[in-house]
Amino acid sequence: MQNRLDTYSPGTMLLGAMLCGLAGIVLAVHLALSTPWLGLTLQAQPGQAGLLVRHSTGPAAAVPAGTRLMALEGPAPSSEATPSRRMALQAVDLIEEPDLLPTYAEVAELLARQSALGQLLNSGEPLRLHILHAETGRADVVQALPEATPLTSLPGVFWSLQLYGLCAILLGCWVWALRPRDWGARAFGLTGFMLFVSASAAAVYASRELALDGGLFRMLSMVNHAGATLFGCALIMLFMAYPRMLLPARWLALPFVVYLPWLALDSFHMLPSPFWGSSLIYASQTLIAVALALFQWRHTRHNPVQRAALRWMSLSTFTGCALFIISMALPHLVGEMPMSQSAAFGFFMLMYAGLAMGVRQYRLFALDEWAFRILLYVLGAIALLALDALFLFVLHLNAAISLSLALVITGFAYLPLRNLLWGRLVNRQALDQGQLFRAVLDVTLAPTRTLQAERWLGLLQTMFTPLDISALPPAQAPAEPEIREQGLALALPPDAGQPALQLSYPWRGRGLFGPTHLQQARELLALRQDTQASRAAFERGVAHERRRIAQDLHDDVGAMLLTSLHQPDMGQVHQTLRSTIAEIRSIVSGLSGETPSLAEALAGMRYEAGQRLDAAGVALQWQEPPLPDAALDYRIAKNLSSALREMLSNTLRHAQAKAVRIALRLEQNMLHMEISDDGKGMDAATQTAGHGLRNVQRRMADIGGQAITHSSAAGVCVHLSLPLPSVPPSRLPAQSPT
């Protein structure tokens, strides 16, 4: 369903609706001030002639309160041809709502009287006010010249009706702006708008001092009437569509098809009486809405959540409507003056207040607490605009403030303050590149999955400040970030322990997701993936290292301790234990994180061999050609040094040698180490079964090398050869291990 309105953010839509409302109020004020003013507060007294003067000020200040205004008389006619311009006043002149008159003829007469009175007031000449002192029965005449109506003369009724209308727009459009494609929300938005139109128009004529131009009166009355009728249509539409769509969407037009012609007939006074064109319309609409609500009730019987929402909606709506109808119709039926419109319209506020509460309690229209934030934002924005208007107004009114002073105040006090407020209200906090990177790292490096999921949400919240973040079911999860609902929402694939997420109403409902944000989201995810990959690699490294230590401890230390446990000779036990400690050192040195270079590893072996042989009085001859300074894999270094250690142990234990020669060679990535002694050699049994030699074989096999042993009367010669992977040159020469 493509709708142009969907391309605006909820904040914009709501603000726009509010500005429409404000413009409507400005128009209403203008119309209300269009007829000149006498300064009287009048009250109709049914059954009595004239109108009671309750209060007087302005041009007619001379009229005492408590007297009765009997008639208005214009200046003497310029020619005898024109009839006298004296108008006797009647209670009906003050009637708030012409629709309540029993016949169209009376309506027409009222409008004619209003026009006549309006002409008198508009004539621009002093009027003669005929008054009657109630106690004494004395008649009197006061002269008064109608003036332009001051803003302050507009009564509370006027403002309260405008305020009700504005509240209705605000709350109605609030729901509509957040759920622009939901028919129920649209209908609800329409009720708000129409209530405003109706109330705002009624306010103009209901709060007139005495008269309006008949044409204007008629037009306003029609607007009021149309607003009320469309409000009723929207109400019908609402209960057709909410909580469930009872009929296909095209049927939603039905109430308009029925009631708009009806309304037209009433406007042209073609119905039997105004009752047919107003009360009957409203009553029928309300009854239809109630009937639909009952249908809804039946349809939602298997859905308690929808039913709860429906119950609350119906309760607040029909309470408001019923009270309004009773307040307007009942006094009329019993022959009383109906109560003031302002109070009657107030009952509709129940409906909207009920809705606001329902959003919190019953998630009406699937809205939640977050929806209130956008309401606050719009109220803040409106308040600021009002502040602007007030500021201009005060500056304009106050003649004591010179232009230059006004400029100074504006420049140094008002504008900075205003900017500050605006910044607070509208500011979008964007993360710079560095902050973003740190935030993503924080997510990735979170110690637990729960914390990671939490931080991920937090980051999304900071980046886009959406009003709502909800999880998407797997079926709707996107493979990569996607803009949905015409920019109202952004769908993200599952990440960081969170399921696929939908971020709705970005920037607290004040913006929409656009291509830039999509790009940002993509980069964010890419950054997440990169850092996550690094973390995974790191964790693999840690796991690998743990495995290495475990394996080394088990294979080497464990095996050697076991050996020493079964050795009968204490000297041998000591020897084995020393080797074990040396093994532990090798294992631990692998933990330091420094990969030794080939030269460094060989230096360590040479030193250890030298020390051991020295202590046993055996000479060591170490032959080492210049070797490339290459990094050496830990496994190779460890296995090679362990193998050498075991061979020397064997030599020291069995060979009775005087000297050991160790010669190194590097040929085409093969490292050769030849260890020969001048001892007595091995007998055949030792050669095959020697445990030490078997270990040497195993260690060499482990790193892809081999050990070949030759034994003769001249001594034992072991030839180790192993491939050195072609490694890149290590960082620096051996002299700088740091």
Partner 1 sequence: MNGANTTPPSQPIHPATGIVVEDMPATREWLAQALRQAFPGIGIHTAATVEQARTCLKGHASRHHQASVLALIDLRLPDGSGLDIVRLCDRQGIVPVVTSIYDDDASLFEALEAGAQGYLLKDHPLPQLVHYLHRIGQGEPPLSPSIARRILASLRGQPEEGARAVGDSQGLTPREAEVLRHIGQGLRVSDVAHALSLTEHTVAGYVKNIYRKLNISSRAQAALEAARRQLL
Residue ranges binding partner 1 (CB under 8 A): 574, 577-578, 581-582, 585, 588-589, 592, 599-600, 602-607, 610-611, 614-615, 620, 622, 734-738
Name the pairing type of β-strands 51-56 and 489-492: unpaired
Of 197 and 662, the one with the shorter C-beta distance to partner 1 is: 662
Tell me how far, at minimum, the Cβ of 626 lies from partner 1, in Å.
Answer: 11
Q: How far is the CB of 624 from partner 1 (least distance, A)?
A: 8
DSSP state of 100: G
In this structure, which amino acid lies at residue 568? P
Taking the C-alpha atoms of residue 44 and residue 210, their distance in angstroms, rounded to an integer, is 10
Are the CB atoms for 464 and 488 separated by under 8 Å?
Answer: no
Shortest distance (Å) from residue 617 CB to partner 1: 10
Residue 485 and residue 503: Cα distance in Å, rounded? 11
Write the CA distances from 169 to 14, 379, 410, 549, 664, integer angstroms: 9, 12, 32, 72, 92
Minimum separation from the CB atom of position 628 to partner 1 (A): 14
Residues listed for the chain: 738
Q: Which is nearer to partner 1, 364 or 601 (CB)?
A: 601
How far CA 396 is from CA of 147, 319, 674, in Å, comes to 21, 45, 105
Nearest to 464 by CA among 393, 517, 406, 414: 517
Work out how close the CB of 627 gets to partner 1 at its nearest, in angstroms, rounded to a whole number: 10
- Least Å from the CB of residue 667 to partner 1: 21
Using the minimum distance from each CB to partner 1, give the nearer residue, 616 or 670.
Answer: 616
Nearest CB to partner 1, comparing residues 494 and 610: 610
Give 419 or 623: the residue with its C-beta nearer to partner 1.
623
Q: How many degrees, rounded to 5, is the angle at CA 240 between CA 362 and CA 19?
A: 70
Name which of 116 and 577 has its Cβ closer to partner 1. Answer: 577
Q: Which is nearer to partner 1, 77 or 628 (CB)?
A: 628
* Shortest spacing between CB 535 and partner 1, in angstroms: 27
DSSP string covering 355-377: HHHHHHHH-GGG--THHHHHHHH
Helices (H), 123-213: 156-178, 183-206
CB of 413 to partner 1, least distance (A): 49
Q: Cα(107)–Cα(270) distance, rounded to whole angstroms?
A: 13
Q: Which residues pair with 717 in a beta bridge?
A: 676, 710
Cβ distance to partner 1 smaller for residue 233 or 602: 602
According to DSSP, residue 207 is labeled T
Quote the CA–CA distance of 197 and 221 in Å, as a whole number. 11
Q: Find the shortest distance in angstroms from Cβ 610 to partner 1.
A: 5
How far is C-alpha 595 from the chain's CA centre? 51
Distance, CA of 617 to CA of 134 (rounded, Å): 142
Q: How far is CA 380 from CA 54, 349, 376, 671, in A?
A: 39, 21, 6, 79
Given the complex with partner 1, which of 78 and 592 has the nearer CB atom?
592
Nearer of residues 495 and 600 to partner 1, judged by Cβ: 600
- First vs last C-alpha separation in the chain: 67
Min dist. Cβ of residue 573 to partner 1 (A): 12
Instruction: Provide, rounded to whole angstroms, the least separation between the CB of residue 565 and partner 1.
Output: 18
**What DSSP element (H or E) covers 12?**
helix 10-32
Q: How far is the CB of 602 from partner 1 (least distance, A)?
A: 7
Query: Minimum Å distance from CB 578 to partner 1?
Result: 5
Residue with tokens 């009320």: 228
In the complex with partner 1, the residue whose CB is nearer, 448 or 592, is 592
Give the CA angle between residues 104, 105, 107 to the nearest 5°: 60
* Of 585 and 691, CB closest to partner 1: 585
Q: Torsion over CA of 626, 632, 636 and 639, rounded to 10 degrees?
A: 80
Radius of gyration of the chain (CA): 48
- DSSP 3-state helix, strand, coil percentages of the chain (rounded to 5)? 60, 15, 25
Q: Given the complex with partner 1, which of 211 and 648 has the nearer CB atom?
A: 648
